[in-house]
Amino acid sequence: MAMERTFSIIKPDATRRNLTGAVTKKLEDAGLSVVASRRVKLTEAQAKKFYEVHAERPFYNDLVSFMTSGPVVVQVLEGENAIAKNREVMGATNPADADAGTIRAEFAESIDANSVHGSDSAENAQIEIAQFFTEDEIVG
């Protein structure tokens, strides 16, 4: 198995409920190391760019409003098979479909306020990490 890096966001619904530590513990318990982390309030431009692929979807404007509604924690996670492992521990997009024990099953409020983002491919992980971190801010 390959060592990989992936990009994670702890979303505003989770920071608002003081779940930053609880979410991070789930990630760490799954074998993922937090090798970069920063709490930030996304600008509308940053959120729009980040979710550009969903620009034509009906939920795009609501998603951008939600992601700018409060602080988020952007993180780089490192570990073996980190991209798939993170998606596994996050659970399905809709918390109603998420497996027991996953972050979204335990913490998400709804399909939009679903507590976490995680890159879905190696290519997107690289693009997303570069949007928020320089190489020297990542300490493995």
Sheet (strand 72-80) strand order: 33-40, 72-80, 3-10, 116-118
23, 27, 117, 118: which one is catalytic? 117
Q: How far apart are CA 70 and CA 40, in angstroms?
A: 9
Of the CA atoms within 13 Å of residue 4, those in its CB half-sphere come to 19
CB-neighbour burial class of residue 77 (10 A; exposed 0-12, middle 13-18, buried 19+)? buried
- Reply yes or no on whether 54 is catalytic: no
Give, for 104, the enclosing helix (H) or strand (E). Answer: helix 103-107
CB of 83 to ligand IDP, least distance (A): 11
Q: Which residues bind ligand IDP (CB under 6 A)?
A: 59, 63, 93, 111-112, 114, 117, 120
Question: Binding residue per annotation — 5?
Answer: no
Residues 110 and 132: their CA atoms lie apart, in Å, by 26
Tell me: is residue 59 an annotated ligand-binding position: yes
Q: Is 87 annotated as a binding residue?
A: yes
Output the smallest distance, CB 138 to ligand IDP, in A.
22
User: Is 20 among the annotated ligand-binding positions?
Assistant: no
Could you tell me the smallest distance in angstroms from the CB atom of residue 10 to ligand IDP?
12
Question: 12 or 79, CB closer to ligand IDP?
Answer: 12
CB nearer to ligand IDP: give 59 or 127.
59
Catalytic residues: 117
Q: Which residues are annotated as a binding site?
A: 11, 59, 87, 93, 104, 114
